[in-house]
Structure 1
Amino acid sequence: MSERPVLLPYAEPAFVADPFPLYRRLREDGPVRRVVIAGGLDAWIVTRYEDGLEALSDPRLSSDVRDASDTRLLAQLPDRERESMLSNMLRSDPPDHTRLRRLVSKAFTARRVAEMRPRIEALTDQLLDKVVPAGRADLVADFALPLPVTVISELLGVPVDDRHDFQRWTDRMIMRGAEPPDPAVVNEAWQHMRAYVTELIRAKRAHPGDDLLSGLITARDEEQRLTEDELIAMVFLLLAAGYITTVNLIAGGIAMLLAHPGQLELLRSDPELLAGAIEEFLRYDGPVSPGIARFAREDVEIAGVAIPRGATVLIASAIADRDPARFPDPDRLDVTRQDNAHLAFGHGIHYCLGAPLARLEGHIAIGAALRRLPGIALAVAPDEIRWRPGGLRGPLSLPVTFTPGGRDAKG
């Protein structure tokens, strides 16, 4: 195996639009190798399914960036508020992770999520009502973005009208490309976000409601199960993670169908296939790419490769989910695929808490779009679609045309 790191070329539009040819070569080259990822950071990438599955449950691999030897990782976080940013479930390990996850898990149970279906369906139809008469839309700005933002805002008890602000700040903090992020931009965005979240908490303390944010404040103030930093970090995580990957699932799923018209027609002719199709979208081109970062607490060996303590280990779910040793004909989108235990939502104790909600939103949104937008097609050439540059994957916009209809054309 070559010791020279492979550069993931986020400065090249062709790679950003379609990273899978390079991903395939990385997997064929070996199960683990050194790479340079978004922001110019060094990592060891795990490319095969069975190795990735095992690594995601390995307690020697930490989620806490403070276990990383590369100081540039911490430098990418806001310097004044670093502890706040590190006090969330995504970046913590047991026992803190166990405590924090338990506080919000009840909001994402199968029963609670199922109870949200009528509201999500109503929101979906309201958004489509606005574009159906026009015969054209940007399915990111007009549909895939506002739907999950509204859902998570209502779940938390956050004013939906504020979504443009927290979405802009979130993008500035997490958008990654070939170059390291500008610390001044990240710091400014986090200061705005922290001030916003602090004011939200103040308002909810004064006027609590039957929502998740009020419950978290109770856990902070009365039950003393959260510090103030943890409360702020939790609200930020739920706001950001609660919408951004679901936007990518909805818009990315529709983009996949437009690129594979036979699969689109198959879904239209048999809507019962949609639940399985959502899993296939997640496997084939999921919203996290190339994968999930961990940090070696000690010297570890993965697939026979020695990885030193403090190294960044990138468990490449997007590459592993096309491993031919696990998925037959993995580079083919197949909405009828049955055996589809993908890693798009992770695995183990950090398995995505919001996965049931994301699946439900994706199912409702994509199903409604297929019903209510007949003749849907890209309004631009496929190579004009702009994609998120690194870490999170999905189209930044998705201009489409379709046959105009009346506002009551709900199928």
Structure 2
Amino acid sequence: MSEPRAFPFPSDALQLSAQLDEVRGARAPVRVRLPYGAPAWLVTRYEDARYVLSSPSFARDPRRAGIAEDDIARVTPVDITVQTMVSTDPPDHTRVRRFVYRAFTPRRIERLRPGTERIADRLVDAMVEQGPPADLFEAFGLALPVQVICDLLGVPAADRDRFTAWTGTLIDTGGLPPEEVMAGIAEMNAYLAEQADLRARNPTDDLVGALVRARDAGDGLSRDELVNLVRTLLAAGHETTASQIPNFVFLLLGTGDYRRLHDRPELVPSAVEELLRYVPLITQGSFPRFVLEDTEVGGMKLGRGDQVLVELSAANRDGSVFPDPDVLDVGRAANPHVAFGFGLHRCVGAALARMELQVALATLTRRLPGLRLAVPADEVPWCADRIVRRPRGLPVTW
């Protein structure tokens, strides 16, 4: 067996790395080694990705495959998914997920659209009042999803900066000491436990309040599960969307499609789907799946205990599924991308993210049709130490 390739592959801004370009058409999985844990197999083809993400031959709980926590393939010193919904399998995963699924149905999320539009307009108002230039990430990209998820969960406005800092610690890949990561998790857990206790004494109508009522009604959600669940929703509910807003705008400005969306706002929904497909958001592939029983992927036999990573960005560029896969086409009609994953662990907040991204692009292109970068594109700084790709800041003017 050949020496595993170092992974994640180095990349520039929002481009697929040259190494990923080299292997993404390979039929068989590629052996890789991440900074921490044991080697894993990397899957890049669309058909194989959907199989790995949905087959009962694979688990997310490493214990079911006899894998020690320290051996989990990962880019962070600590596996931040341990004891969360992300790392469980049915029946526990099904039991916990159903508590939040009702709050994230497309119908319920659509009711949040008017309020999200008002938040977006207020943020643009503040940008215009201050005047250009502005950092689109700080002034709009981060602020919009943070306010929406905090309002949904009931996090006090005064505490929003605290959990944003905690989340940054969780997804840092720059080599933070494990004890610092664990301290951040402990602080966030203590804060969320306090919020849950407050709602037990004084019920609220927000999502955390609903989860507390379900727990106290004996529906099978433990105190630790409730805290870990809310932590996961807070982190995932703003970080990815906050990153995608500047990513999307950066690409749209570069292709001229930003002005096209101003002229044809009906294209915004298809543009969001295409950008979700096109942008290689996650630097590490999906969280690993653990082989429970002998199976075959891409013609290669895998055995119990093997670990498999799915490179979603490569699957979303599979030419057998997407014509001209490396072309950004905001009017693309058929777009069965797997940006939100696939199978049981498909992102529970997909409908919320879609709505927020649609509102973001619709508001920006309507209110700021002359938006443009305030610096040359090659001078935009990019994060190199996070699981999620995004610019450190996106200087814009209008």
Task: Calculate the TM-score normalised by the size of structure 2.
Answer: 0.92
**Partner amino acid, structure 1, of 2:162:** D
> 1:27-176, aligned counterparts within 5 Å?
27-37=24-34, 39=36, 42-66=39-63, 67=65, 69=67, 71-73=69-71, 86-133=82-129, 134-176=131-173
CA distance in 2, matches of 1:30, 1:250: 33
- More moved, 134-143 vs 276-285: 134-143
Partner of 2:192: 197
Does residue 6 (structure 1) correspond to residue 34 (structure 2)? The answer is no
- Residue of structure 1 in register with 2:309 after alignment: 314
Contact map agreement 1:296 1:310 (CA 8 A) in 2 = yes
Q: Distance in 2 between matches of 1:356 and 1:174?
A: 23
Contact 2:8 2:283 survives alignment (8 Å):
no
Aligned-pair CA distance for 1:73: 5.0
> Match for residue 346 of structure 1?
341
Q: Distance in 1 between matches of 2:66 and 2:275?
A: 32
Structure 2 residue 270 is matched with structure 1 residue 240: no
How far the C-alpha of 1:379 sits from its partner, in A, is 2.0
Alignment deviations for residues 371-390 of structure 1 (CA, whole Å, 9 cap, x no partner): 22232222223233213545
The answer for the alignment partner of 2:281 in structure 1 is 287
Aligned to 2:268: 274
Unaligned 5+ segments in structure 1 are 403-411
Are 1:388 and 1:396, in contact at CA under 8 Å, matched by a contact in 2? no
Contact 2:116 2:359 in 1 (8 A): yes
Q: Residues of 2 paired with 1:254 and 1:215: CA distance?
A: 35
Query: In structure 2, how many angstroms separate the alpha carbons of the residues matched to 1:75 and 1:387?
Result: 22
Q: TM-score, normalised by structure 1?
A: 0.89
Contact 1:39 1:176 in 2 (8 A): no
Specify the alignment match of 1:409 in structure 2: none
Q: How many residues align?
A: 393
Change in 2 beyond 3 A, CA 1:253/1:156: same
Cα deviation code 1:139-165 (max 9, x no counterpart) = 111111111111111111111221111
In the alignment, which of 241, 259, 268 is matched to residue 265 of structure 1?
259
Q: Which letter maps to 1:237?
A: T
- Secondary structure (helix, strand or coil) at the match of 1:328 reads coil
Tell me: CA distance 1:139–1:41, structure 2 relative to 1, closer, same or farther (3 Å).
farther
Give the secondary-structure state (helix, strand or coil) at the position aligned to 1:3: coil
Structure 1 residues 120 and 321, CA gap change in structure 2 (3 angstroms): same
CA contact (8 A) 1:34 1:43 kept: yes
Task: Tell me by how many angstroms 1:229 deviates.
Answer: 1.1
SS in 1 for 2:41: strand
Q: What is the CA–CA distance in structure 2 between the aligned matches of 1:143 and 1:336, rounded to whole Å?
A: 25
Deviation at 1:29, TM superposition (A): 4.0
Which residue, out of 380, 397, 405, partners 2:375?
A: 380
* Counterpart amino acid of residue 98 in structure 2: R
Alpha-carbon distance between aligned partners in 2 of 1:213 and 1:160, rounded to the nearest angstrom:
15
Distance 1:286 1:272, change over 3 A: farther
Distance 1:70 1:396 in 2: 35
Whole-angstrom distance in 1 between the partners of 2:31 and 2:19: 14
Q: 1:392 aligns with which of 385, 388, 398?
A: 388
Cα distance in structure 2, aligned partners of 1:22 and 1:306: 24
For residue 326 of structure 1, what is the aligned residue in structure 2?
321
In the alignment, residue 397 of structure 1 is paired with which amino acid?
G
Aligned-pair identity (%) = 40
CA distance in 2, matches of 1:5, 1:242: 33
Counterpart residue number, 1:22? 19
**Range with bigger deviation, 390-399 or 108-117:** 390-399
Paired letter, 2:70: R
Q: Which moved more, 1:84-93 or 1:310-319?
A: 84-93
The root-mean-square deviation of aligned C-alpha atoms, in Å, is 2.3
In structure 2, stretches of 5+ residues that fail to align are none
For the 8 Å contact 1:70–1:311, the answer to whether it is kept is no
Query: 1:34-93 deviations in whole A, cap 9, x for unaligned?
Result: 1123557622110011111111111111112434636435698898xx9x9633221111
Residue pair 2:73, 2:307 contacting (<8 A) in 1 also: no
Q: Quote the Cα distance in structure 1 between the aligned partners of 2:184 and 2:362.
A: 35
Aligned mates of 1:300, 1:15 — CA distance in 2: 35
The answer to whether the 8 A contact 2:38-2:73 is kept is no
2:378 maps to amino acid: D
- The separation in 1 between residues aligned to 2:196 and 2:120, in whole angstroms, is 29
Paired with 1:308 and 1:239, the residues of 2 have a C-alpha distance of: 35
Greater Cα offset, 202-211 or 269-278:
202-211
Contact 1:249 1:394 in 2 (8 A): yes
Aligned-pair CA distance for 1:138:
1.0
Instruction: Report if aligned partners of 2:33, 2:73 keep a CA contact under 8 Å in 1.
Output: no
Could you tell which deviates more after superposition, 313-322 or 242-251? 242-251
- The 10-residue stretch of structure 1 (96-105 or 371-380) with the greater mean CA deviation from structure 2: 371-380
